Amino acid sequence: MNSSTPPQSRQPRSESFVHPFLEAAHGRAPARPPVWIMRQAGRYLPDYRRVRKLFPSFLDFCRSPEHVAEVTVQPVDQIGVDAAILFSDILVLLPPMGLNLEFVEGEGPVVHNPIRDAAAIEALPGGDVNVDLNYVFQGIQLTLRDLAGYVPLIGFAGGPFTVASYMVEGGSSKELAKLKGLMFSNPKAYHMLLEKLATITGAYLCEQIRQGVDAVTIMDSWAGYLSPSDYREFVFPHTRSVIAHVRSQFPKTPLIHYANGAPTLLGDFVNLGADVVGLDWRVELPQAFKEHPAQTFQGNLDPCYLFAPPEKIVAKVHEMKAIAGNRPHIWNLGHGILPTTPVENARAFVQAVHGEI
Ligand code: CP3
């Protein structure tokens, strides 16, 4: 631990303590509103940047269980969130599937051997998550040891469509032209790819739960690139099959679905059958609450709101809390926290949700 780290605030919980995050995720009104932040272990935290510097390669960092546990717990101690999310990435599934993935400084993920045709898709190795991603499970074990039940641990995987986008595009993309080109020109090959991804993703999430995570999130960040009818034809059945598989193995573990930039798909996301549906800031809370009275949601403050002064953040959160009333709701941003966010503003967000300021 670095000397600049604030003193640990984690105290042992009493036997009867019920975690507000899990209460809300199960659709019950929690004793106090729970909050966590997408990408909460990350570059806006000086202590994260200190650990990050130890590894020239981001993937090597993800493969170091001790350091994974250290940065996973940082936002719990330093920001006061009600859940930890395992430090890893949705793209760790790519190397087990034979893809040569690198995170390039200043550029993001690059796949050096993208797959573009039916033959490459057919030849993809299925990957054995138990062997190839053992380092993730070691990270889960060490994180659970360090958290000692103080807050729940969230595991995660990417949605098959979002992960496929990196495999086919070869990296981040503005249009997803190659993936959507494949989808429209050779739907059979596209569906074969998504089926393979859905199978490995389901196995991966189940193993995370077996290892002890308390909830899982499917992050289908780029689902909003599709029209509603294309989403229904090309993505919904695959995400649905991941959710159905996890449900069949672990009916009691809460499952969160998150997608970005897709307000027109809200009804479809609700139909996927996850316990919690993540919202980005393009969705108005009153409308989502009114249209889906029985659905628990997560979100949805615009991450850029954390660039406003703390008093504005507090006022905005109070306004949103008045809209939610007593509904079970998991507070979060509408997408990942941005690296230039002032730490004290992230803290103000969390404290405002808790009603401490
Ligand atoms: O704190 C947490 O939320 C846990 C860790 C986490 C990371 N990535 C760490 C990370 C999680 C949950 C993710 C998910 C992820 N990764 C998504 C879905 C959620 C979203 O934000 O939409 C996606 C699309 C990715 C793919 C990815 N990983 C990209 C496009 C990039 C480069 C852009 C960027 O943000 O830097 C990454 C790299 C990455 N993943 C970093 C971190 C902390 C930054 C790398 C670094 O520190 O050098």
* Active-site position among 10, 50, 52, 232: 52
Angle 211-89-5 from CA coordinates, rounded to 5°: 85
Q: Looking at residue 11, what is its pLDDT?
A: 86
Rounded to an integer, the average pLDDT of 313-336 is 98
- Check whether 79 has a pLDDT greater than 90: yes
Is the pLDDT at 149 greater than 90? The verdict is yes
pLDDT tens, residue by residue, 255-279: 999 999 999 999 999 999 999 999 9
CA 199 to the chain's CA centroid: 19
- Given a cut of 70, whether residue 3 has pLDDT beyond it is no
How far away, in angstroms, is 273 Cα from ligand 1 center?
25
Output the six-digit token pair for 293: 């009275």
Residue 90 has a CB neighbour count (10 Å cut-off) of: 20
Ligand 1, closest atom to CA 38?
Answer: 3
**Tens digits of residue pLDDT in 154-192:** 999 999 999 999 999 999 999 999 999 999 999 999 999
Say if CB 75 and CB 84 are below 8 A apart.
yes
Q: Residues 6 or more apart from 309 whose CB is under 8 A from it?
A: 345
Pocket flag, ligand 1, residue 329 (CB < 6 Å) = no
Q: Which entry of 48, 49, 60, 89 is annotated as an active-site residue?
A: 89
Phi, psi dihedrals of residue 32, rounded to the nearest 5°: -145, 150
Look up the CATH architecture of domain 24-354: Alpha-Beta Barrel (3.20)
pLDDT of residue 104 exceeding 80, the answer is yes
pLDDT band, residue 1 (cuts 50/70/90): very low
Burial of 139 (0-12, 13-18, 19+ CB in 10 A): buried
pLDDT given at position 6: 47
Alpha-carbon distance of 72 to 83, in angstroms, equals 10
Distance between CA atoms of residues 168 and 162, nearest Å: 10
Q: Is the pLDDT of residue 4 over 90?
A: no
Written as six digits, the tokens of 12 are: 């042992």
| pLDDT per residue as tens digits for the range 199-239 | 999 999 999 999 999 999 999 999 999 999 999 999 999 99
Q: Is residue 87 within 6 Å of ligand 1 at its C-beta?
A: yes
Residue whose CA is closest, atom 25 of ligand 1?
90
Check if 327 is active-site: no
Domain spans in the chain, listed from the N-terminal domain onward: 24-354
Closest Cα to residue 234, out of 277, 270, 185, 279?
Answer: 185
Query: How many other C-beta atoms are found inside a 10 Å radius of the C-beta of residue 142?
Result: 17
CB atoms within 10 A of CB 340: 9
| DSSP run (H or E) holding 61 | helix 58-62
Give the distance (Å) from ligand 1 centre to CA of residue 336.
Answer: 8
* Residue 8: per-residue pLDDT: 61
Size of the chain, expressed as the number of residues it contains? 357
> Residue 295 Cα, ligand 1 centroid: separation in angstroms?
27
